[in-house]
Amino acid sequence: MWLLDKFLTKAIQLGQLIVTDHDGKEYTYGPGGEYDPLVGGRAGPIRIKLTNKKAANHIVRYPQMGAGEAFMWGWLVVEEPHDIRDMILMVTMNAKRLGASSLKAKGPVRKAVQKVKAAVDGINLRSSARANAEHTYNLTRQLYERFLDEDRQYTMAYYREDDPTRTSLEQAQMDKKAHLASKLYLKRPEDNGGKRMRVLDIGCGWGGFALYLHKMYDCEVLGVALAPDQIAFSNERAKELGVDEHVKFELMDYRDVTGEFDRISSVGLLEHVGTIHYPQFFEHTNRLLKQDGVMISHCCGRSGAPGYTDAWTRKYIFPGGYIPALSELVTESEKNGWQVMDVEAMRFHYSHTLQEWYARTVMHQAEITEMYDEVFYRMWLFYLAGAEQSFRNGTMVNWQLQYVKDRSAIPMTREYMERESARLREIGEIPSWRFDPELKEAAE
């Protein structure tokens, strides 16, 4: 316990953390007093119990893995009325005030080892890429229904107000789709010589964005992903809406896609590509896009220099995943014929999104535990809370980058994005009767 005690004594300078070790001995850290609940969760003191004599040593010896595993295994218990989110946000807020995160590997040797491990994990050959995707996205449909919005958007929502409580998750996800679509500079057939634009949606998830683009622009969309249940669900949605002739989803590696497209979107994909494969990604998408086309990429990102994915996330949540720095994305795209026309850093949007996902997960504790078990439930809570702190107290952001091959493909100023986003928000969801001939005839 002495190593953990040494760290917490230095780290906790705001709020109060009270730790009861497995032998009943109590340790108190921090001066007490309230702190901003928006930044650090609910006010303290936060009390935790270490129920196993190995817990403290496991947390200190394996800082990137130990705390998560201790919580998953029940070795670390947060006492009510607080929870693991409160503890994580409190500790990381204090670490932020110190100017460094205690959760990072210390020493050049340990950092080098972690970097090598992360690089090896980031090698996503076709065989491993599908296995990694299934690990993350092929969990039961019912799990995602419990914490995502109705459209199953499993990426950052777009909060247009500083106070996230003023916007529902469903509205924020609708606004995210409008924001992204506006950057694609799509044209409806009547504005494109009568021709439907053809869009490739790489890493299409559960099909929400592809279906949205078709609704708003009457375009042809091909969505590809590597998780079988996502593709099955997406095709079910398209068929139910009667748009399966125009919106198709295929279980396919993006590297196997052929043909030519007017637009390409990748939302939440680049985190799974792996840095070693960035040249291949940008080269292949460049080949697929028409000369006057536009590509938009939305991904989690680092606001600083390149780094590596922490060991716990690589093992339990996103095997093969890596969150890129802007320099990595721009450098590799430029080498393969792309011109970056627009870059937007989304700072706290994902922390608000993750906070809502966490709340909905807690709301459905009984059902999720029944689907899996207590260990899985606690793992999911730690993942969501840990991810939230990265975007709230850490240096993670979301990048949205717009790429073209020819600078004349888009208007002179980015004002068209603002106008189009506002227009799409005003329209909202187009009623489903539009795609049902009988209902459409009755409505008219």
Q: Are 201 and 222 in contact (CB under 8 A)?
A: yes
31 and 74 fall within a common domain = yes
77 and 169 fall within a common domain = no
Helices (H), 62-83: 66-72
149 and 53 fall within a common domain = no
What is the average pLDDT across 13-26?
A: 94
274 and 315 fall within a common domain = yes
The domain in which residue 432 lies consists of 126-443
User: Of 78, 98, 118, which marks where a domain is finished?
Assistant: 98
pLDDT band at 107 (very low <50, low <70, confident <90, very high): low
What span, in angstroms and rounded, lies between the C-alpha atoms of 58 and 225? Answer: 37
277 and 358 fall within a common domain = yes
Residues making up the chain, counted from first to last = 444
CATH code for the domain in which residue 341 is found: 3.40.50.150
Check whether 41 has a pLDDT greater than 90. Answer: no
Phi and psi dihedrals of 120, rounded to 5? -65, -45
131 and 207 fall within a common domain = yes
**Nearest partner of 351 among 387, 302, 381, judged by Cα:** 387
Check whether 410 has a pLDDT greater than 60. Answer: yes
Q: In terms of pTM, does the model score above 0.85? A: yes
238 located within any domain: yes
What span, in angstroms and rounded, lies between the C-alpha atoms of 358 and 379? Answer: 12
Check whether 430 has a pLDDT greater than 50. Answer: no
Q: For the chain, what is the domain count?
A: 2
Check whether 102 has a pLDDT greater than 50. Answer: no
Q: Is the dihedral of CA 285, 268, 221, 157 positive or negative?
A: negative
345 and 406 fall within a common domain = yes
372 located within any domain: yes
Q: What is the pLDDT of residue 314?
A: 86
pLDDT band at 438 (very low <50, low <70, confident <90, very high): low
* Site of tokens 């439930």: 377
**Nearest partner of 401 among 273, 289, 264, 272, judged by Cα:** 264
Average pLDDT across the chain, whole number: 88
Beta strands in 174-288 (DSSP E): 198-202, 220-225, 247-251, 261-267
89 and 152 fall within a common domain = no
Q: Are 267 and 180 in contact (CB under 8 A)?
A: yes
Sequence letter at residue 389: Q
117 located within any domain: no
75 located within any domain: yes
227 located within any domain: yes
Check whether 434 has a pLDDT greater than 50. Answer: no
Q: Which helix (H) or strand (E) holds 369?
A: helix 365-371
CATH code for the domain in which residue 55 is found: 3.30.1050
Q: What is the pLDDT of residue 443?
A: 46
pLDDT one-digit tens code per residue, 126-172: 555 545 544 444 578 899 999 999 999 999 999 999 899 999 999 99
What is the average pLDDT across 358-376?
A: 96
Check whether 118 has a pLDDT greater than 60. Answer: no
Beta strands in 183-236 (DSSP E): 198-202, 220-225
Q: Which helix (H) or strand (E) holds 4?
A: helix 2-11
pLDDT one-digit tens code per residue, 306-318: 988 888 888 898 8
Beta strands in 359-419 (DSSP E): 396-404
Check whether 382 has a pLDDT greater than 60. Answer: yes
94 and 166 fall within a common domain = no
186 and 55 fall within a common domain = no
105 located within any domain: no
Which among 99-108, 242-251, 387-396 has the top mean pLDDT? 242-251
75 and 174 fall within a common domain = no
* Site of tokens 């607080």: 82
**Four-point Cα dihedral 233, 236, 242, 245, nearest 10:** 80
Task: Calculate what percentage of the chain has a pLDDT beyond 70.
Answer: 85
Q: What are the C-alpha distances in Å from 48 to residues 91, 148, 290?
A: 12, 29, 57
278 located within any domain: yes
Q: What is the pLDDT of residue 319?
A: 84
User: Of 98, 115, 147, which marks where a domain is finished?
Assistant: 98
Check whether 16 has a pLDDT greater than 60. Answer: yes
User: Of 52, 79, 98, which marks where a domain is finished?
Assistant: 98
What span, in angstroms and rounded, lies between the C-alpha atoms of 92 and 396? Answer: 13
Check whether 178 has a pLDDT greater than 60. Answer: yes
Q: What is the pLDDT of residue 1?
A: 87
146 located within any domain: yes
52 and 137 fall within a common domain = no
